[in-house]
């Protein structure tokens, strides 16, 4: 009589199916919470600062700040998705590593632990999982950099708005000595 308990590869397949549902359920939860990203709201390109921000009028400066803020929000959402995908891929690769070690345990060509490790590393599924992890790690790094650059632009624009607001206040408010009649 055969053992009816599922093998390690069957368990891995079940876990992969579960992980494949995770991004869809996260996306559904975000949509239910009203946080779904409308593709039409995606910025066409990253905003850039002009060489001399002081030449912009208040309306242009406000529009520039809004574009930085919207792009920063967009990049933050993309970064969150990429980090979730990276975590998922790392866990799947770890599961795959364990499953492949069990698979090669009884392989007559793999007589030592080193042979099994080499066989796992050379297995096509492992190579593909490793490539996916590298892809998402690179994407996360690029999005972090883009997020940092966008935040710097947004903050620089905010400082210019604040500087102008302070300047306007200092010219529009009379000094105490004028109010007292001194």
Q: 3-state SS string over 14-66?
A: HHHHHHHHHHHHHHHHHHHCCCCCCHHHCCCCCCCCCCCHHHCCHHHHHHHHH
pLDDT in tens, 96-124: 888 888 888 888 888 888 888 888 888 88
The Cα–Cα gap between 58 and 73 comes to 22
What's this model's pTM, rounded to 2 decimal places?
0.65
Percent of the chain exceeding pLDDT 70 equals: 69
Mean per-residue pLDDT of the chain: 77
Which pLDDT score, from 0 to 100, does residue 155 have? Answer: 93
């Amino acid at each position: 009589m055969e053992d009816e308990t599922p093998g390690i590869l069957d368990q891995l397949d079940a876990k992969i199916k579960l992980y494949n549902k995770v991004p869809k359920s996260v996306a559904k939860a975000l949509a239910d919470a009203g946080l779904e990203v409308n593709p039409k709201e995606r910025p066409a390109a990253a905003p850039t600062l002009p060489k001399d921000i002081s030449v912009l009028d208040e309306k242009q400066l406000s529009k520039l700040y809004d574009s930085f803020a919207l792009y920063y929000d967009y990049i933050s959402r993309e970064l969150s998705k990429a980090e979730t995908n990276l975590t998922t891929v790392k866990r799947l690769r770890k599961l795959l590593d364990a499953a492949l070690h069990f698979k090669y345990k009884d392989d007559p060509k793999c007589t030592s632990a080193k042979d099994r490790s080499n066989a796992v590393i050379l297995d096509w599924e492992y190579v593909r999982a490793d490539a996916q992890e590298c892809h998402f790690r690179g994407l996360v790094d690029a999005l972090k950099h883009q997020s940092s650059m966008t935040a710097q632009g947004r903050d620089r624009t905010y400082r210019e708005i604040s500087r102008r607001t302070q300047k306007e206040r200092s010219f529009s408010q009379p000094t105490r000595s004028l109010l007292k009649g001194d």
